[in-house]
Amino acid sequence: MASTERLLLSGNEAVALASLHAGVRLGTGYPGTPSTEILEAFSLIGGPAQWSPNEKVALEVALGVSFGGGRTLVTMKHVGVNVAADPLFTAAYIDLTGGLVLISADDPGMASSQNEQDNRHYARAAIVPMLEPADSQQAYDFTLAAFELSERWRIPVILRMTTRICHAKTEVIPGEPRPSAMEPHFERDIPGRVMIPAYARPAHHKIRAKMEEIARWNEESGLNRIHPGDKSLGIIASGISVMHAREAAPDATLLALGLTWPLPMQMITDFVNSVDRCIVIEEGDHLLYEALTVAGLKVEGKPEMYRFSELNVSRVRRIIAGDVTPEAPRPRGKPPELCQGCSHREVFEALSRLNCIVAGDIGCYTLGVLPPFEAMDTCVCMGAAIGVGLGLRHVLPEAEARRVVSVIGDSTFVHSGLTGIAEMVYNPPPTGHVVLIVDNSTTAMTGRQEHPGTGRSLNHEPTNRMDFVAVCKAMGVKNVEVVDPQKDEAKFEEILKDMMARDELSVLIAERPCILAAPLIRKLEKAEEEKRCAAGCAAAPVE
């Protein structure tokens, strides 16, 4: 790659290119807006990438790669980090070998998410460094820096992006590849990697000491930058807020933080002391403001109303002016809906006709909550349909309990539904329960990614397929049926009704490929069939 080449890349593509240049041995993750395209782009340019069933498993696989001396990338959306939080918090205690970078793609404004959590909290809580790029060039540069930081201090590093970094295209001038000199190998390190209390106690002290060292290094890391300007107003910002603030207050002096945890406190103190008035511009929670205030620095934060949704140039102008008058509402536009021809439509029509209490889940089918269906009563997080449905069944009077159905998609079922089935079999409600898996053979919502139930890997190559019917039966579910809700609409409703009437445990699989994914699925299946046939013919004895 020539060093003068200008590319127009999304932040996600920039992370993918940097990961290739960093010599990543394996990229793992679970699809989630706005992170999904990172692994897809990485795979397209030749990087080894795979989808895991969920973010926790993805991070655990990545840890294994790191222990084996390979660099590894793990991608997920903000709520995915909640799922991966268990390994993350202890991974921080462990001396890693290969560099491990975790991408947290946050969704302020909730374009496509169930909450607006600010994952900057994770760096503080899990005791790991965090980098926040402000454009695609920094997404590229910081990814490479993150791998080097991770290997130098043998610690996981979070690269936190947001929708306007992930999905904005800006100029990138890539550099030369900078892979690690290390070759995969195993070195035994029992006290460093086996987190029993005796080894974890000193590890906690060690990680705190590492963070102090990184904080000192960060003072001169080159990852934080001062844009000089008029000293009457100083702004401290990170991530996309840097760009909004530079545009909103072009004359101000601005400190753009890149390595935002641990903070370079001396650099920040000197900056605050160098300006007349200093204001912190941050999207989401008041984290940076609170950290600086606790340190005794005289900085202004933002009014509470700007905690919500994305920032933009207009809102930053208002924050600087201290304007708390109501904001003009943004154009709302036409809400999304289930595609015409989508088989989820028949499913929600049936649920509506049968007056079901629907414990729902995360995916395209969550759109079943909107008119004309309005056939969903709860939606919390990946996999919650089953647990929530069971709780309702346990507590409601019999007539209402019988109406409860858990609705979960195929990819979501693999992600977090299996433990729900175990719960159902272990603690069956008196009225039994019905779990409806709406299986459209793809992870539709995020743009049609493969998962363990499709039998194809990230790059659509055939692999082992997880058989939902066999799994549910093996786990102890009495009744398991598969129906195409579009082709056999009446039969689908009849079976559902019958299952609801019994005091037994049932799983109904509504199986029909997503209409957007179907053409590709048909093409892949045809190609696989031809390949099998060719192999079969070649193997056949010649007469």
Partner 1 sequence: MAVTNVVLAGLGGQGVVKASDLLSTTAFAGGLQVKKSEVHGMSQRGGSVTTDVRFGEQVLSPMVPMGEADFLMVFESSQVDLNLGWLRPGGVLITPALIPEGALKNRKSLNVALLGAASMVMDFDEQAWIDAIHRCLPEKLHAVNEQAFALGRRLGAELSRPEVIEGV
Interacting residues with partner 1 (CB under 8 A)? 6, 8, 33-34, 109, 111-112, 135, 163-164, 167-171, 240, 243-244, 246-247, 312-314, 328, 330-339, 364, 367, 445-447, 516
Minimum CB distance to partner 1 smaller for 111 or for 125: 111
Alpha-carbon distance of 320 to 246, in angstroms, equals 12
Minimum CB distance to partner 1 smaller for 9 or for 159: 9
Minimum CB distance to partner 1 smaller for 47 or for 368: 368
Q: Minimum Å distance from CB 167 to partner 1?
A: 6
Element containing residue 256 per DSSP (H, E):
strand 252-257
Q: Minimum Å distance from CB 242 to partner 1?
A: 8
Q: Minimum Å distance from CB 286 to partner 1?
A: 21
**Partners of residue 72 on adjacent β-strands:** 26, 100
Q: Minimum Å distance from CB 398 to partner 1?
A: 37
Minimum CB distance to partner 1 smaller for 171 or for 220: 171
Give residue 322's region: left, alpha or beta (phi > 0; psi -120 to 50): left
Secondary structure (3-state) at 477: coil
Number of residues that make up the chain:
543
Q: Minimum Å distance from CB 340 to partner 1?
A: 8
DSSP letter for each residue of 283-342: SSSSHHHHHHHHTT---B---GGGGSS---HHHHHHHHHT--SPPPPPP--PPP-PPTT-
Task: Report cis status (omega within 30 of 0) of the bond before 34.
Answer: yes
Minimum CB distance to partner 1 smaller for 8 or for 198: 8
468 within 8 A of 416, measured Cβ to Cβ? no
Fill in the amino acid letter for 362. I
Minimum CB distance to partner 1 smaller for 33 or for 66: 33
Q: Minimum Å distance from CB 368 to partner 1?
A: 12
Minimum CB distance to partner 1 smaller for 119 or for 506: 119
Q: Minimum Å distance from CB 52 to partner 1?
A: 21
The angle, 0 to 180 degrees and rounded to 10, between the axes of the packed helices 78-91 and 55-67 is 40
The first and second tokens of residue 331, run together, are: 């154009």
The distance from CA 126 to its chain's CA centroid, rounded to whole angstroms, is 17
178 within 8 A of 144, measured Cβ to Cβ? yes
Q: Minimum Å distance from CB 447 to partner 1?
A: 7
Alpha-carbon distance of 161 to 97, in angstroms, equals 25
Minimum CB distance to partner 1 smaller for 2 or for 328: 328
